[in-house]
A and B are shown apart, each in its own frame.
Chain A
Amino acid sequence: MTTLKDLEINYDSPNWCPGCGDFGIWLSLKKAIVELDLNPSKVVLVSGIGCSGKLPYWVKTYGFNGLHGRPIPVAEGIRLANHELTVIVIGGDGDQYAEGGNHLLHAMRRNVNITLLVHNNQIYGLTTGQYSPTTDIGEKNKATPIPTVEPPLNPLSLAISAGATFVARGFAGDTILETNLLKEAIKHKGFAIIDSLQPCVTFNQKNTYSWFYERIINVNEKGHDPTDKMKAFALSEQWPLKKASQDDEKEQIPVGILYKEQRLSWEEGIPQIAKMPLVKQLRQEVDINSLLDELL
């Protein structure tokens, strides 16, 4: 039995700003691992750069913290080398939707069997508050005082159309919801993305905990059928708004599993690893004599 204690590293603790949404996601991830009773030695957390990207430092599983925007291809390599590992990618909205956009797009298309957990605080945290691809249009702040003219990217509708087979929105302020989503996403065979609303208490004065509490609606509790792709798409389009809204009191932000589908995952289509993971196939002797004969 894996317990929360097993996941604790005893020589350091998170240094996020007090109140940061990252704490809620961190806790939820640990709870999901415990509740699924995953062996920490068989879990790899892969992250990029950002406040969010530090999370793997503080969970006692295998961890790889790569470069800004690049955790997905690292995770893909790990999965192909050893698909017996549970691979979870942790990124920020800048990390995943800006710098790493190309990799994200292709990982979803491929249906790589990994879970992507995006800490979406609609801002760049670690570089002190610049716009991110999910910042609302018309927003301004101290780091970037000219109001942005770029409409926000919609990660969930993008994911549904690009071929992700598990698409959900979580919220750092609701760890029960977040834990459940993570458990479902980890169990899911294929590419699972959880875009997690994450208040950045230091740089984002608009999207606060209370702002979210007033707006989120759990679609699963409202009877949404996640296999209905058109409905899922419609829900995903509900937020973020593409235009600056006069009346954003009325915004409703769907959370929960919006879309789910069963489709052959990337590695299931690779015969080289049908019998065993690559990492278990290394041999001292590799006979290339037949290849030499071919060149005679």
Chain B
Amino acid sequence: MIDIQWMIGGEAGYGIMTTGVMMSKIFTRLGLSVFDYVEYPSLIRGGHNAYYVRGSDEKVYSQKKTVDILVALNHETIEKHKDELVPQSVILYDSNSIKLKNEFSKGILTIPIPLLDMMNDLQIDHLMINTITIGASLALLYDDFSLLQKIMQDTFIKKGEEVVAINTKTSKAGFDFIKEKYNGVFKKKFSLNQQSSLLMSGADAVALGAIRAGLKFAAIYPMTPINSILTKLTQHALSYNIIVKEPEDEIAGINMAIGASFAGVRSMVATSGGGFSLMVESVGLAAQTETPLVIVMGMRPGPATGMPTWTEQGDLRFVMHAAQGDFPRIILTPGDIDECFSLTLRAFNLAEKYQLPVVVLVDKYLMEGHATVKIDKLRLENAWYRIDRGKIVSSAQLKGIKDFKRYILTNDGISPRSLPGQEGGISFSGSDEHDERGLYNEDADMREAMMEKRFKKLKTLEKEILVPQVYGSKNAEITLIEFGSTKLPCLEAMKCLQDEEININVIHFSWVHPFPSKHFIQLVKKSKKTIVVEGNYSGQFEGILRERTGFVPDDRLRKYNGRPFYPEEIIAKIKEII
């Protein structure tokens, strides 16, 4: 079996991110299942960046702790990551800037590469030293350079042939260096991928899902970790005729999106906790006016600016309760890149069918990590999807209606809406409580009727609620319960433990509000010992479980240091209690 983790570390500004993604592409084309993950501080230049790429010929779900190939562009990388090395690990390091003392045991192979000298020979800017290391890394794994040549072509062709040529030449130098001096030191054999997988980040998946769902308007004020959604959407805005606006602030953004949606197009916003804080009042506006709205909310550690470039699951309670008053909303929590795509598709239909705010709750870990996704699966999902705009009245239906009642009381809680411009559909939507016509109304009975109408939607949408998924055997010694991206390290831990014949399973929630209580109770009945795993201090998810079902887990594992869970940590916890 192949299971290898490659890592590059160095100062920001040396193209660590590009190198990382490229390495993921190499792994993907070598036929591996890939997961990658990047750590970096909130700095543009300087500071320590680390990009982990893990690949395996079996499905991988997350990063792991140990590094098999470490590329060190500076000494700090060695200092920080040497504990992640294991016997047989290889270090490729810049021998011009790093002098190794005898700090590594015999089992670890250190390969000095004079990166700066090589750049001088090639007469290329030293900022491209990372490119040599991609070539060198490939040479350790595979004999044919043309693989990388093709990737360089695909990656840089938009910037012109010259850029392709320089990158190819530089990486070839690294490739040749290893082939000449260290051929065959790393003994793993790969076969080329039949291109059945593609590599995408969570942000790519959300953006693609939104485009497929018929997004027409997005207003996004930049904020980590959702910036790549903004970039991706802008890149394709012209070809798909989508307006992507960068508003003056998040308050403007959400109100623009509400306006666009009120006028009849599918619209969304994307933000992180700080931006969502500003949007909060308007979440209620969307709810009160029953304007469909998709909010992509990317969690990172808070409060305030917290740790801007790190990850956490600390905003679950916040999105659940955000905005004054009592109103229905939906919160979806994708657990992997596939789900980022499929739940974004779903979010747009849910928002329009039920005329309420739908939050797609993601995090830095998911947004900025890449993984291989089976292309057939995506194409299938794509082909199946039908845009369902819910109850929008047609012009024919409006004929003969004198005073259109936008908020007419219905049994399913959903009132048909007209769109501005429609003849005969003149209607009024406001932030005040209102009667069926939309006119503000403070009558006690009317208030009750309107509250009940809005909440009836929850009953109507019950059939759409995504039941928590059980991964692994039905009868397990231990059940891990999680939501969102914690699915990834949990599944990884499960896989590792299965190899040791320890029987665990995972219950994953990709829909947390309204809470699928009944389904959960059914599922958890068979569990012997349960652990809730979540990325926050106070156990927000566990609290919701208790509150909505009365269920109390046997144990819990929480993390709040800005890092995602490592499967090793989950495994250690499990071994502690069995």
Mark A residues whose CB is within 8 Å of B. Answer: 10-12, 39-42, 44, 46, 49, 54, 56-57, 60-67, 70, 72-82, 84-85, 102-103, 105-106, 270-273, 278-279, 281-284, 286, 288-289, 291-292, 295-296
Contacts and interface: CB of A to CB of B under 8 A. Distances in A.
Given A67-B285, A77-B219, A106-B252, A41 B423 contact: yes
Chain B interface size range: 35 or more
Given A74-B256, A77-B219, A291-B208, A296 B198 contact: yes
Given A278-B216, A282-B216, A66 B255 contact: yes
B243 A283 contact: no
A288 B212 contact: yes
A64 B289 contact: yes
Contacts of A73: 247, 251-253, 255-256, 259
A77 B260 contact: yes
Q: Which 7 A-B pairs have the closest CB atoms?
A: A77-B259, A65-B430, A81-B263, A73-B255, A77-B256, A77-B260, A74-B259
Nearest to A272: B241
B21 to A, nearest CB: 11
Interface stretch (B135-143, B378-386, B514-522, B531-539): B378-386
Contact of B263 (A49, A63, A77, A271): A77
A80 to B, nearest CB: 5
A279 B379 CA distance: 27
A64 to B, nearest CB: 5
B107 interface: no
B431 interface: yes
Interface in B303-346: none
Nearest to B196: A296
B281 interface: yes
A76 to B, nearest CB: 5
Contacts of B565: none
A42 B419 CA distance: 10
Interface stretch (B53-61, B118-126, B264-272, B354-362): B264-272
B157 to A, nearest CB: 11
B248 A103 contact: yes
Contacts of B429: 63-65
- Of A60, A76, A79, most buried by chain B (CB within 10 Å of CB) is A76
A62 B253 CA distance: 22
Nearest to A80: B243
Contacts of B257: 77
B27 interface: no
B431 A289 contact: no
Contacts of B195: 296
A208 to B, nearest CB: 29
B502 interface: no
Contacts of B426: 40-41, 60-62
A102 B248 contact: yes
Given A70-B255, A81-B216, A271-B238, A62 B282 contact: no
Nearest to B402: A10
B241 A281 contact: yes
Contact of B241 (A42, A66, A278): A278
Contact of A279 (B198, B211, B263, B424): B263
Given A41-B426, A270-B243, A292 B251 contact: no
Nearest to B245: A80
B265 A81 contact: yes
A266 B231 CA distance: 21
Contacts of A70: 251-252, 255, 282, 285
Contacts of B264: 81-82, 279, 282
Nearest to A71: B255
B19 interface: no
Contacts of A296: 195, 198, 375
- Of A10, A57, A291, most buried by chain B (CB within 10 Å of CB) is A291
Interface string B213-253: 11011010000000000000000111011110101110111
B265 A292 contact: no
Interface in B183-225: 195, 198-200, 204, 208, 211-214, 216-217, 219
Contacts of A78: 259-260, 262-263, 420
B415 interface: no
Contacts of A72: 252
A87 B249 CA distance: 22
A286 to B, nearest CB: 5
A65 B263 contact: no
Contacts of B425: 41
B428 interface: yes
A238 to B, nearest CB: 30
B204 A283 contact: no
B2 to A, nearest CB: 21
A75 B265 contact: no
Nearest to B388: A284
B427 interface: yes
A119 B300 CA distance: 42
- Of B219, B243, B425, most buried by chain A (CB within 10 Å of CB) is B243
Contact of A82 (B208, B240, B420, B438): B420
B306 to A, nearest CB: 24
